[in-house]
Structure 1
């Protein structure tokens, strides 16, 4: 009761803020606390400028860090808020006034157990950026002795290392916990009062949001993500990730090498620096493709503020708090979807959706699958035969995801994050050269990956792997069968008489003894085909 009262009072304040920005439409559509929403609308008749998504972004910014993060999360949910609002929220600027540098120094000393003067040769008083979760200060540190191999070590001692120090906002965890209670309350109200919205699983969505932000507030996780990304691109000069200084990092402090460059979308500055825009975009396309399909681990917030171009025309990345993962199975299904789309085989495309588990209620070959194939055709046919530079694959993926509403499909969070980053990549591409499409530049990589991973030989290798996996399970199955037989013989397992009759009278009941020979023969045939 106390929680409900507290949430209602909070809701009233939030509704008034939304009303001031003329951004009540989402709450009105969801039907949450309609009386309070009507009251807020009635006593605030302001007509703000801009699209609904732009108004909502301004209101969320005013409401503070947790709501900014909520807006960023909603920017991946075009299925929930609509494509245009999702696009507007993707532009939500995660900037807040900085907090006092004295507090930042206190946090550093508390976390690392040493005075700032011992940790850094210099520490800038003014932060270079301040966001909802943390702010960043420039600093210098003594050269790492482990890096002094060859050359003049004495000269290097005179060259301090330039670093960036990210410090978590004071009190951000408690503020997030307070806001989280409210978010869960709203989600529970929606699930209780709005049956048509239950398929979006709002309580579960808030849980995913909670886990994401909690990970983002542990700066060690961001450091680990940066290290993994750097490992994935080791030896590839086109993509550079700052090195993490683990001795000066902890849960609330992250120190990394300082990087600088030209923002990815600053066309004039890139041209003035003499960069070939096509070359820059080609590198960016290769990086995006390799992160998603080769590694299954991608930067989840690749807006231009986090992507820069260095003097050599290579890409620099920062801010690894939001990362996406896609397992091999998901990548394989995405590739099969792409092949089916390009072939115009919509029944195969629908079947891949079913194989991926995105259509759990559809019966193979049944009329529902045919209807879904027809819906896929309606989305894909308008782009059939058009050149790649005229196609937005991010928008195509968004339209396919919108089919979740019509067919009540479960939402796939990893695909939503991927779609958001595809939109960002396409936006940067078109801002630099409207005649180019980043996917056109990535096509050689796509073709090579398809041949290697989804071609006939790859499918044969996959089949052999499945057979080998089955053979490896045979000893376990045999052991389980032996134990079950012993339990049955001892009378500890009882079968119903009808079950015994069906087992003993079943035609072909002796087929079980052929399982192993058949499996071995299948493996032999598969290996012979390979070699």
Structure 2
């Protein structure tokens, strides 16, 4: 039943995309026959207002009509240009997650149900919504501390029914991913089903506001000694599953360029600080803010960058951080052979491919950076070429690295708006080079040895458990050898049902064959 519902949901989505002009706007060149057919149908059924509308507006209208889950899917696909292409990815980056606010009465009831306390005892003032998105909306409020001092706070409150709706739509996304993976072999390297898994996990965590609060807390610990970057302080007393309370940020949003220029701050310094902060989080901590668009970044009066909305965060393991560091270092040093070797060592490129050929292809990605001014460097064009090369070498998509890479592009874009002469590669050097130097030097080797000793120690602790499991498994094997394999009742019933279905299918097939033979005989003699 769920499968049928998913197909109806996909049909509705296709209809909305046609009506809003999204399908018509797809590129004609290289499109497979089903897409060309869909474009022909879409030209007939699309709305009049969609004919001259910009593509960004078209996408926004379609996704907002489909609902909050599809808006979240659009935001996720903005991080996957390898799936949707660079053009659509850029349009999805411009998607403004703005929904109609829900009633303040519901917001108050949600806070009271989550915290088991009356709103009026928790807050001196509880204001109307200041922002409404697909997952939650934000209210400005005022609280009084135990010492009597009042301060402004921001309260993020989950949208009603969003979890149930997302779980419903998630089945649709899985159906589409399985269908494409099965019938389009070239798309298998994109790991679409695994990508939906990541979307599901990300959204589930984003809808659990205590987890987002914990992300803020972890980031605050990581950056407490870093210059020029911070996150809001969490009010744990007023935070629960469905509401998150944090300090109110007084600053200029980084999408307000006019106010930023009038602020008197050195925007080139701010741009450099933003990029280097992100690289420190990714490589040093293995934990980074993965939604650093200008609407989530504020410039505080003291010049600090304050990042909000950590519903989407990325993590990198130590091997992945080493991979990232050596890749960036290799590009900075123009050591393409080492960059290629790191790809092979990480297992991202099949071993049957040639390292030297891969290094040659990577040179085509890196060389356009050098000998050109910062204004001429297109990171988007470089990424498009990189995706073509990884497809050429059958490199399996690594979703966590794609998320990191896309966040790097977003950060670079914000920095470029702050400073048109900003060069991400030049800015990255002071962070990347010391990190990689330590990583591949004596201290890095000591860290690896320490990690190895920890792994051996953990294995030694678990040795008695492994021994008991091995002994139990040996006894089970001896029992099977002496008495045969015994099946429990549910397994026997399941086998019986399967055999019954097989027998019915066999009987039907025999009757079909018999009827066909009878028809042939009849035709022969009549």
Q: Residue 134 of structure 1 corresponds to which residue in structure 2?
A: 136
CA distance in 1, matches of 2:388, 2:38: 30
1:95-494 equivalences under 5 Å are: 95-124=98-127, 126-143=128-145, 145=146, 157=148, 159-236=149-226, 238-359=228-349, 361-363=350-352, 368-386=354-372, 391-392=377-378, 396-397=382-383, 399-454=385-440, 456-458=441-443, 460-461=445-446, 464-465=449-450
Aligned CA distance change for structure 1 residues 395 and 220 (closer, same or farther; 3 Å) = farther
Distance in 2 between the 1:215 and 1:471 partners? 33
| Secondary structure, aligned partner of 1:140 | strand
Q: Compute the displacement of 1:184 (Å).
A: 1.6
Query: Could you tell me whether the CA contact under 8 Å between 2:270 and 2:418 is conserved in 1?
Result: no
1:175 to partner: Cα distance? 1.1
Q: 1:288 to 1:482 in 2, by over 3 A?
A: closer
Task: Give the Å deviation of 1:238.
Answer: 1.6
Give distance in 2, aligned partners of 1:398 and 1:62: 30
TM-score by length of 2: 0.80
For residue 208 of structure 1, report the CA deviation from its aligned partner. 1.5
What CA distance in whole angstroms lies between the structure 2 residues aligned with 1:161 and 1:474?
A: 51
Partner Cα distance (2:5, 2:216) in 1: 40
Q: C-alpha offsets along residues 29-53 of structure 1, whole Å, 9 cap, x if unaligned?
A: 5888998776555433756346656
Where 1:114 maps in the other structure, the secondary structure is coil
**Match for residue 93 of structure 1?**
96
Distance 1:121 1:482, change over 3 A: closer
Sort the Cα spacing of 1:476 and 1:245 in 2 relative to 1 into closer, same or farther, 3 A.
closer
Corresponding residue number in structure 1 for 2:513: none
Shift in Å, 1:391: 3.9
1:462, 1:313 → 2: CA distance?
35
- Is this contact kept in 1: 2:272–2:415, CA < 8 A? no
What is the CA deviation profile of residues 245-283 of structure 1, one whole-angstrom value per residue up to 9, with x for unaligned ones? 112111111111111211124332123222111222232
For these two proteins, the number of residue pairs brought into alignment is 471
Higher mean Cα deviation, 418-427 or 85-94?
418-427
Secondary structure in structure 2 of the residue aligned to 1:170: coil
After superposition, what is the alpha-carbon deviation per residue over 1:394-427, rounded to whole angstroms, capped at 9, x for unaligned? 6535532443322222211122112222222222
- 1:198-229 deviations in Å (ceiling 9; x for gaps): 22232222122111111101111110000001
Cα pair distance change 1:385/1:42, threshold 3 Å: same
Q: More deviation in 420-429 or 297-306? A: 420-429
Alpha-carbon distance change, 479 to 96 in structure 1, aligned in 2, over 3 angstroms: closer
Distance 2:462 2:69 in 1: 50
Give the superposed CA RMSD.
3.4
What is the CA distance between 1:74 and its match in structure 2?
0.5
Structure 1 unmatched runs, 5+ = 149-156, 494-531
SS of 1:95 mapped into structure 2: coil
The TM-score with structure 1 as length reference comes to 0.79
Contact 2:100 2:132 in 1 (8 A): yes
Gaps of 5+ in 2: 479-526
C-alpha contact 2:99 2:132 (8 A) present in aligned 1:
yes
Measure the CA separation in 2 of the matches of 1:51 and 1:59: 13
